[in-house]
Structure 1
Amino acid sequence: MQYKDFMGQIQSRLELPELGRAVRATRAVLTTLGERLQAGEAQDLAGSLPMEVDYYLTSADSGQRFDYDEFVDRVAERANVNKSDAAYYGKVVVGLVSELISRGEVEDVRGQLTDDYQYLFALIDAEEVEEE
């Protein structure tokens, strides 16, 4: 997927009026995720994404330990939105990323996160239930 298509999908799924807000949401989520994942995992995840997007994952100071609430706080601050919107941004961005990577890679990412991050994967899990 090309960068423009990726951002268009984010803008549409988040129902944002401006592309700039979609970019800010994506950057906030992926930078924060990149901080939480180990460097190698962030690199693996970034490999399937458009070059302009993978930078958000790989430029972060990786390997930090923080819980889901801190994840949401960081996304909210970076995107300049409330915590509810930040949590939703996380679900949507991770949902789209998960469509572009293998199921095994999704599981590798989940394996590096604590159980409280289950909310980040809520859209993915809901799709799997519908398929069954």
Structure 2
Amino acid sequence: MNYDTFVDQVARRSGTSARRAEELTRATLATLTERLTGGEVLDLAVRLPEPLRSPLRPTPGTEAAEQFGAAEFVARVAVRAGIEEPAARSVIGAVFATLRTAVTDGEFDELVVRLPRDYRDLVEPALAPGTTLRRA
């Protein structure tokens, strides 16, 4: 999927302009970067269009994933995007749904099963029909 298509899909799903969808996507991806290990971030980044890779660049201090739950994820996105938490939850859903269609070979499914169980409400609507989160 190319960058414009990705942004257009987030805009459509979140009911915002393309410009705002770019900002919201970057806020969500930056927060996701904090929650994943450096290797997981790089695995996702290589499957996305170049302009979306910049928020997914791990730094030397981000090799280990930060351990925070879904409520903190939503709060961080809200702060980054300058929106209220209920709106952030909706935006996160739009970005995750678009990520799911943008990446192939099960990468999205592999990514979400690594997240704690409390992320289920954020990611499950983006999963392929009939797919559920498998927990070890």
Q: State if a TM-score over 0.5 links the two structures.
A: yes
Shift of 1:103: 5.2
Range 5-14 or range 36-45, more displaced:
5-14
**Pairing of 1:74-85 with structure 2 (within 5 A):** 74-85=76-87
Code of the aligned partner of 1:34 = T
Shift of 1:73: 0.2
Q: Kindly tell me the number of residue pairs found equivalent between the two proteins.
A: 128
Cα distance, 1:104–1:19 mapped onto 2, change above 3 Å: closer
Structure having the larger proportion of residues in helix? 1
Deviation above 4 Å: which 4+ runs of structure 1?
Answer: none
In the alignment, is the contact (CA less than 8 A) between 1:76 and 1:86 conserved in 2?
Answer: yes
The question of 1:58 aligning with 2:60 is answered no
Percent pairwise identity: 32
In the alignment, is the contact (CA less than 8 A) between 2:24 and 2:91 conserved in 1?
Answer: yes
In the alignment, is the contact (CA less than 8 A) between 1:92 and 1:123 conserved in 2?
Answer: no
Code of the aligned partner of 1:111 = V
Code of the aligned partner of 1:44 = D
Task: Write the distance in 2 (CA, Å) between the matches of 1:12 and 1:48.
Answer: 21
- 1:115 corresponds to: 117
Shift of 1:108: 2.0
Please give the secondary structure, in 2, of the residue aligned with 1:128. Answer: coil
Code of the aligned partner of 1:52 = P
Task: Write the distance in 2 (CA, Å) between the matches of 1:80 and 1:68.
Answer: 18
Q: TM-score, normalised by structure 2?
A: 0.85
Unaligned runs of 5+ residues in structure 1 are none
Q: Deviations over 1:41-82 (max 9, x none)?
A: 111111111110122122463511111100000000011111
Cα distance, 1:107–1:122 mapped onto 2, change above 3 Å: closer
Task: Write the distance in 1 (CA, Å) between the matches of 2:45 and 2:39.
Answer: 10
- 1:34 corresponds to: 33
Task: Write the distance in 1 (CA, Å) between the matches of 2:58 and 2:18.
Answer: 22
In the alignment, is the contact (CA less than 8 A) between 1:31 and 1:59 conserved in 2?
Answer: no
Shift of 1:20: 2.0
The question of 1:2 aligning with 2:2 is answered yes
Code of the aligned partner of 1:119 = D
- 2:129 corresponds to: 128
